[in-house]
Chains A and B, each alone.
Chain A
Amino acid sequence: MAIITNLFKKSPFGPIVEHAKKVHECLEMIKPLMEALIYENYELIHELQNKVSKLEYEADLIKHQIREDLPRRFFLPVDREELDGFLECQEKMADYAQDFAIILRIRQTKLHPHVQDKFFDLVDQMFQVSGSLLTAAVEIKNLAEASFGGAEARQVLSLIKGLGEEEWKADKLARSLSIDIYKLEGKIGTIDIIFYEKMLLKIGAIANEAENAGDFLRAMIVK
C-alpha cells in the first residue's frame, strides 16, 4: 500500500466553516423568538425552540466529526489548543441560543413596552459581533489555502480587530438595558424581572463568546 495515502488526513477547515455556519443558524432564531414574544405567540416560540434545539444538535454532530477526524498525532498548520478553543466558543454560542429559546419557552413571559426597543437593539448589536465573526470564520478555508499568511490573513485579522469594539458596545447596551429593567421594579412582577435578566445575560454571553472565538482565530492565524 502506498504510504502517501496514510500520510494525508482530511483537512478540518472545511467542516469548521460548516460548523460556524450552523452555529450562526442557531443565532438567527433569536430575532424571530423575540418577535414571537412581543406578539405573545407562545405556540410559535415552542416551534422555534424545537428548531434551535435541532440546529444545535446538528452543530454538535459536525463538531464531533471534526474532533474525531483529528487525533492528537496529526500535525496541523494551526495550534491545536487554539483550534479546540475556537470550536468550544462556537459551541457555547449555539448552546446559549438554545438556552435563550428555553427561557422563553418555559414561562409565558410578557415583554414590557419600556424595554422592548433596547432589547432589540441589544440583539442587533450581538448580531454585529457574531456576524463579523462569521465573516471571518468562513474565510478559514481560504486562509488555509494561503497558508495562514499574506493578504488573506491581513484581511481576516482586520475583521477580527473590529470584534472587540462591537462587543464593548453590546456590553454598554446590556448595562443600560439592565438599568431600565430594574426601573420597572414594582410595576411588573419580580419573576418577570428575573426572566428579563436571564434573557439579557444570554444575549450578552453570546456576544462575549463571539469575541473570544475571534481571539482564538487571531491566535490561530498568528501562531
Chain B
Amino acid sequence: MEAARSRLDIATENLANVSTDGFSRHDARGFLTALGVRVTAVASPTHGALRRTGRPDDLAIVGDGSFRVRDARGRVEHTRAGAFSRDRDGHLRDGADRLLLDAHGRPIVVRGDRSIQARQVGLPAGSTLESGALETSSVDQISEMIDVLTAQRSYEGAEKIVAAIDGTRQKSADDVARLK
C-alpha cells in the first residue's frame, strides 16, 4: 500500500507540472526490499518538446545540459527552464529573479540583438541553444493518468490482501478461543 501511495505522489506531482516549462518528469521505480515493494522517484532523462514563444530572451536547450542560475543569496542551481527576461542592466533573470551565469560563473550580459551561444553558458558539446523558444514540460499527461489509476487500483488490491490477512488472523484467534 505504501508503494501505491508513493506512485500516486509521483504521478500527481508530474501532472501538476504539465504546464511548467523546462520541468523534467520523475519516473516511478519500484524495487523489492526485505519489507516489501518500495517505489522511489528517479529524474527521467527525457526532454520536453520545444515551443516557440515570440520572446527573444527565452532560451531552450536542445540536447543535454542545464543553465546555471544564481539567486539573491548567492546559491547556484541548475535548471532547464529558460524563461529569462532582460533586466535594466542587461542581465538575464528567470521568473524567480535568478541570474543566468556563464561558463565561468559570471552573470551574462546581453546587449542589443546579440544572441547567446551554447558554449557561453557552458553547455556540453553537441548541445545547442534555441532562442525565442522554451522547452515544454516532459510530462506525458496520458501516461501519468494511467499511473494515477494504476496506483489507485493497486492500493485497492493491497487493501483486499490486508483485509484477507486480517480475516484469517481473526478466524484463528476466534478458533483458539473456542478450543479453550
Chain B associates with chain A? no
